Chains A and B, each alone.
Chain A
């Protein structure tokens, strides 16, 4: 089934040509913008484009969930619109809001007396109906991230970050946008997407997301990378690192992750550590060098102690 047919069948807006010609193009492209994707990541991004579906990305903190959305935006030359979720997020922050100050001004500019006597033929200004239609027009609408992404005529990547932070009820706000790519505004009608945005949702899994939301998304679990990929990431993202040091960094981090730690080192912490080592001019990591910089990788004192005992035999 081609893209156009799918879109027509579901009453979706025209999806336009696919962004990526092939699976390999996704992978190569992401690597070009400095994001080293593995099979599953590039596969899901490719499918998301072909099926016009949002991607729900889960995984431990600091494994590049947000970065994936940014990199895809960079790759497709699209604008990144980000909606950071938090508790208490509501539709006036996520979807749209009427600019009521401006509406008020508009009403006052028309003159209060005339409005109250509206319904007379409009000698002395706009009638109530005209005014009502006027103040509930697009001019008075403040677009929030979701609506902005839908209305945009340029290519957009929409990132809904940490979606698990909103309440279960607020999640429902997203559903219409995610499945139909449209926003219904009672006073104005339905705003449909002119171009389908690529949508990424990230979750740190602090709570179970609703079935309805999961059903509408492709699911991608990003775990800690394996040794080869981590080494490649370090080499790509840390300028001036030697191959030897990158290898050593990746191997130490892998060993650390096998320990029973409260918080295993994330990829971003690995990168920070590698950068630190480069700045300090350390060529190979000895026990002493590792001990002095371990606090960049591990954020709990108990973890640091355990790592020193297990790996460096320092008690």
Chain B
């Protein structure tokens, strides 16, 4: 068990969780207090000692499912023979038995129609045992799993669920409900909505059962460690924004809000608790009266560092659009730390979008509007940094002053247009700082049509910002 725990801790560390030595020891001690057959108890004991942040929970859960599914599966097979099927230990016999009863000896014998009918029934009655049995049958029938393939199981899940047509099942459930209600008083919209949510929750439970089933089989096939490698996902802070999948983007949106709130709190504190200012002679003298005119405790003025003015100029063409959105969101979330924030977006034309953010409580709303309403296309909708920057210089260049910091966002893939670097050079003369944030990995820079090097010569700094962690770090240092 202790070996297994060390392997598990190693896996967590590989997934990016900071697990310290003492936490490992605590976990070892904690599992001594938990009855071994209690899988949920084990999970919570490990979670309480090893995972110290809610954003790491998902990574922990995935690793846990992979590592500890294996052992229960083996025990199940040894103990109960083929039919045990390695279900989670709670009520093993009962679940297996009922699964058999309904499925007449395992899922392979079921026709698609039977399977669909059983799924419908299990969802209607919220019968967990039946649901698990259906999940097993469905995986047998539809997933088409091939032994030895180094995949994480997402594809199998997709295949299984597509064949089950869960949307149609949901529609049928609702239909049935309406039919029942039609005989009586009928359904109000509220009731209908509540029922729909209930069924959706059940379907979600079922989906998870299928996922568990697939994962369990993969572990049996290839072993926990190999599988853990293929299902390992980066922590939200470390997701590469440019290449994020849709799910990952949703994940990023979820963490962005707390992240920006934390950043705002931290910056506000930093501002308040900052260094001491120059000696406040008057206050010192006044205070010295209580010690008989001897200035024992000098007083200092509170420093009031000037808040910078921020110009964000972001490329929102396809490839870097999501990156621009995250940056704008974060900058506006902490806009109280700046005296003014103005934002501009461009593809080959450029438009000011500051107005979208005025009077909006949630920056996300404004960011959503930018995509639809900003006027950024000049000729063909391919990035043209040269033209966009020239336009910026012509229309707003004079408003850049020595108090402004410029943030240029983009991969500088210019589609072989003229770069017009003189604009950046001139802006740097006017502004306090010019930073360039590039969401591409550093070793891609200046390859192909990327011209970031030419602009870099005129910037204070060019920063690689691929993940939220890097973005937070950069924005945090800006004030």
A residues sitting closer than 8 Å to B (CB atoms) are 1, 6, 23, 39-40, 43-44, 46-47, 50-51, 53, 55-56, 58-59, 87, 167, 205-208, 211, 214-215, 217-221, 227, 248, 251-252, 254-255, 258, 262, 285-287, 290, 302, 310-313
Contacts and interface: CB of A to CB of B under 8 A. Distances in A.
B44 A44 contact: yes
Contacts of A51: 26, 29-30, 33
Nearest to A6: B29
Given A58-B54, A218-B49, A312 B189 contact: yes
Contacts of A211: 18, 20
Contact of A219 (B34, B48, B258, B269): B48
A245 B38 CA distance: 35
A1 B33 CA distance: 9
A275 B261 CA distance: 33
B120 to A, nearest CB: 21
B262 A206 contact: yes
B178 interface: no
Q: Is the interface of B mostly helix, strand, loop or mixed?
A: helix
A44 B51 CA distance: 13
Given A43-B45, A206-B261, A215-B20, A53 B26 contact: yes
A214 B52 contact: yes
A252 B193 CA distance: 9
A251 B197 contact: yes
Contacts of B34: 23, 43, 47
Contacts of A207: 262, 265-266
26 contacts: A6-B29, A23-B41, A40-B48, A47-B48, A50-B33, A53-B26, A59-B54, A208-B53, A211-B18, A214-B52, A215-B20, A215-B22, A218-B26, A219-B47, A219-B48, A221-B54, A221-B57, A251-B198, A252-B190, A252-B194, A254-B197, A258-B197, A285-B190, A310-B193, A311-B190, A312-B189
Nearest to B266: A207
B48 A220 contact: yes
Interface in B248-277: 258, 261-262, 265-266, 269, 273
B188 interface: yes
A219 to B, nearest CB: 5
Nearest to B198: A251
Contacts of A40: 44, 47-48
Contacts of B18: 211
A249 B362 CA distance: 29
A262 B362 contact: yes
B283 interface: no
Interface string B25-65: 01001101111001011001101110111100100000000
Contacts of B361: 262, 302
A309 to B, nearest CB: 11
Contacts of B45: 43, 47
Nearest to A216: B22
Interface of B: 18, 20, 22-23, 26, 29-30, 32-35, 38, 40-41, 44-45, 47-49, 51-54, 57, 188-190, 193-194, 197-198, 201, 258, 261-262, 265-266, 269, 273, 361-362
B194 A251 contact: yes
Contact of A227 (B26, B201, B269): B201
Contact of A312 (B20, B47, B190): B190
B41 A43 contact: yes
Contacts of B35: 23
A43 B32 contact: no
Contact of B23 (A55, A215, A311): A215
B47 A1 contact: no
B41 A39 contact: yes
Nearest to A223: B54
A29 to B, nearest CB: 17
Nearest to B364: A260
Nearest to B21: A215
Nearest to B40: A39
A43 to B, nearest CB: 4
Given A53-B26, A56-B52, A205-B258, 10 more contacts: A1-B32, A23-B38, A40-B47, A43-B48, A47-B45, A50-B33, A51-B29, A215-B23, A252-B190, A262-B362
Nearest to A55: B48
A211 B52 CA distance: 9
B52 A39 contact: no
B466 to A, nearest CB: 21
For the complex of A and B, list the 9 residue pairs with the smallest distance between their C-beta atoms, beginning with the closest: A43-B44, A214-B52, A218-B48, A40-B44, A255-B197, A50-B33, A221-B54, A219-B52, A44-B48
A304 to B, nearest CB: 14
A290 B190 CA distance: 10
Nearest to B49: A218
A178 to B, nearest CB: 13
Contacts of B194: 248, 251-252, 255
A287 B54 contact: no
A55 B47 CA distance: 12
B357 to A, nearest CB: 16
Nearest to B263: A207
Contacts of B47: 40, 219
A219 B45 CA distance: 10
A19 B29 CA distance: 18
Contacts of A215: 20, 22-23, 52
A46 to B, nearest CB: 7
Contacts of B266: 207
Contacts of A55: 48
A1 B20 contact: no
A52 to B, nearest CB: 10
**Most central of B32, B44, B57, B261 by chain A CB within 10 Å:** B44
Contacts of B53: 208, 214, 219
A255 B32 CA distance: 40
A211 B17 CA distance: 12
Nearest to B38: A23
B204 to A, nearest CB: 11
A111 B47 CA distance: 62
B33 A313 contact: no
A286 B30 CA distance: 49
Contact of B190 (A50, A214, A286): A286
Contacts of A208: 53, 262
B265 A206 contact: yes
Nearest to A258: B197
Contacts of A286: 188, 190
Contacts of A43: 34, 40-41, 44-45, 48
Find the residue from A219, A286, A287 having the highest chain B CB count within 10 A.
Answer: A219
A211 B29 CA distance: 20
A167 B269 contact: yes
Contacts of A206: 261-262, 265
B273 A167 contact: yes
Given A23-B41, A205-B258, A311 B193 contact: yes
Contacts of B32: 1
A43 B26 CA distance: 15
Nearest to B33: A50
